[in-house]
Amino acid sequence: MSHLLPRNKKLLSFVTRHYPILKTLIQNPSPTLLTSHHYATQSSKFPEYEMPTVTWGVIQGKKEKLVNRVKICDHLKTLGVITDELETIELPSTIEVISERLEFLQKLGLTIDDVNEYPLMLGCSVRKNLIPVLAYLEKIGISRSKLGEFVKNYPQVLHASVVVELAPVVKFLRGLDVEKQDLGYVLMKYPELLGFKLEGTMSTSVAYLVSIGVSPRDIGPMVTQYPYLLGMRVGTMIKPLVDYLISIGLPKKIVARMLEKRAYVIGYSLEETVKPNVECLISFGVRREMLPLVIAQYPQILGLPVKAKMSTQQYFFSLKLKVDPEGFARVVEKMPQVVSLKQNVIMKPVEFLLGRAFRVEDVARMVVRCPQILCSRVELMKNAYYFYKTEMGRPMKELVEYPEYFTYGLESRIKPRYQKLQGKGIRSSLNWFLNCSDQRFEERLEGNFIDADSEGPVFDMGGKLDMPGGGGGEVVSDEDDDDESDDDEVLYRRTLTL
């Protein structure tokens, strides 16, 4: 034991030399010496940010603490900071420390006005809060130049713990198949995600979407496109919208496929936007049984100012194209995107047809039968028309009866098929040799008969997708309803590819 005495004496000498207060305690262990005065005099040796903020109440006396708070608040007021909300939080003991925090925030790009929007950010330590949080945000993909904007949009993030709060949310997003390079984009778009609880709204919204048929592997792309869906309550927002779409005739699987491709539809207000728009379409003459096809082709129509757009376009079609309101309703049924087409775009193909000696009445018939010609490029229409007149030599009446001719590629379909017909010596309608697949066309060429023209697919509510005249009313899909290629899938492929 004797060999330990010199070492203990050296340790005691070192402690008492560097920490005088311990020497006093050793000499006089009376508890009355443990006053806040000793701590207050020694605290100036330690930077504020290196000490837990909860100890300041012990280190400083109440009177000294109150005086320092008044000084800090007066200093902040001279800089334009509104200090009313700071009364509820603990502030540092010196003006230098609060000035350091404010200067750090300003270097991020925040102004005094931004600080006044959320003054509680001044309660965050530079080294304990600001630097760790901002470093983590930069690590997950938010560029340094946008950190100020991020903090401005969601200043509460500065209070968060990286390990306990931020990292689990990021891990959850990665688990949903949100790509690593998209994390920054998603969080910049919806920074409040970092404040959500994993077991709350985020999990329930994802579970519900999967339950209605959304593919789990598509959740990630949906979140990337529209991250707000993770903050929407199932019972009050998502489910009522889905139930309504199903009630007007859209199959559940089609709704699921639609949401996969157009996730922002979930954000449309059911009572304020969706229902009024559906009723508006009906009031303009769109038939109820055609609503599912209209919505499946153009889901955005549920969120547009439909009444204003429909009124404007209906008047324009009547004035310029001589299409009556009933005809306009048929146009919307076949191509609902027409409500958003600019009028100068519409007039280009119309003026081309009028310039080729088509009568206004004939152009109106062509538009009602095939509104897709309004989206055709005039250059391609010119080439197709020139080939029709010079090579095919057919009357103009056939183009009026089958304006879909202008929607096919000249080099890819019209010319090669027409040349094969010529080689076989077959003369048929435009519809017969253009409105079919390559396989069906070859079968027709090899057959000893010419089957009837087909009007194209028609969606029958509650049934399969039938092809009238395309082989005796055969159905496109003869598989069982449980098969992936059932009528819902066929409808989806036909409509959303438009």
Partners of 465 in the β-ladder:
459
Take residue 63 and report the two structure tokens written for it: 């009177």
The percent of residues above 90 in pLDDT, for the chain, comes to 63
**pLDDT at res. 161:** 93
Instruction: Count other C-beta atoms under 10 Å from residue 75's C-beta.
Output: 15
**pLDDT at res. 373:** 95
Chain centroid to Cα 334, Å, comes to: 27
**Each residue's pLDDT expressed in tens, for the chain with a length of 498 residues:** 455 445 555 555 654 554 454 455 445 554 443 443 443 444 444 444 444 444 444 445 667 777 777 888 888 888 888 888 887 777 887 889 889 999 999 999 999 999 999 988 988 899 999 999 999 999 999 999 999 999 999 999 999 999 999 999 999 999 999 999 999 999 999 999 999 888 888 899 999 999 999 999 999 999 999 999 999 999 999 999 999 999 999 999 999 999 999 999 999 999 999 999 999 999 999 999 999 999 999 999 999 999 999 999 999 999 999 999 999 999 999 999 999 999 999 999 999 999 998 999 999 999 999 999 999 999 999 999 999 999 999 999 999 999 999 999 999 999 999 999 998 888 889 999 999 999 999 888 887 445 555 555 443 333 333 333 333 333 333 334 444 444 444 444 444 443
pLDDT in tens, 169-208: 999 999 999 999 999 999 999 999 999 888 888 899 999 9
* 277/262 Cα distance (integer angstroms): 18
Partners of 466 in the β-ladder:
458, 475
**pLDDT at res. 54:** 42
How buried is 366 (Cβ within 10 angstroms: 0-12 exposed, 13-18 middle, 19+ buried)?
Answer: buried
Element (H, E) at 7: helix 5-18
Chain position carrying tokens 């891990």: 171
Answer left, alpha or beta for residue 494, where phi above 0 means left and psi between -120 and 50 means alpha.
alpha
**pLDDT at res. 445:** 86
**pLDDT at res. 227:** 96
Phi, psi at 78, each rounded to 5°: -65, -25
How buried is 79 (Cβ within 10 angstroms: 0-12 exposed, 13-18 middle, 19+ buried)?
Answer: exposed
**pLDDT at res. 311:** 96
**pLDDT at res. 61:** 60
By DSSP bridging, strand 458-459 and strand 465-466 are antiparallel
Q: What is the pTM of this model?
A: 0.73
- In our burial notation (b when 16+ CB lie closer than 10 A, e otherwise), range 376-412 reads beeeebebbbeebeeeeeeeeeebbbbbbbbbbebee
* 355/340 Cα distance (integer angstroms): 25
pLDDT in tens, 87-132: 777 788 788 988 999 999 999 999 999 999 998 898 889 999 999 9
Whether residue 223 contacts residue 173, with contact meaning beta carbons closer than 8 Å, is answered with: yes
Whether residue 162 contacts residue 133, with contact meaning beta carbons closer than 8 Å, is answered with: yes
How buried is 225 (Cβ within 10 angstroms: 0-12 exposed, 13-18 middle, 19+ buried)?
Answer: middle
**pLDDT at res. 20:** 53
Q: For 63-109, what is the HEC assignment? A: HHHHHHHHHHHHHHHHCCCCCHHHHHCCCCCCHHHHHHHHHHHHHHC
DSSP state of 285: T
Chain centroid to Cα 131, Å, comes to: 30
* 297/342 Cα distance (integer angstroms): 19
Maximum Cα interatomic distance, the chain, rounded to a whole number of Å:
123
Whether residue 328 contacts residue 318, with contact meaning beta carbons closer than 8 Å, is answered with: yes
Segments making up each domain of the chain, as ranges: 270-337
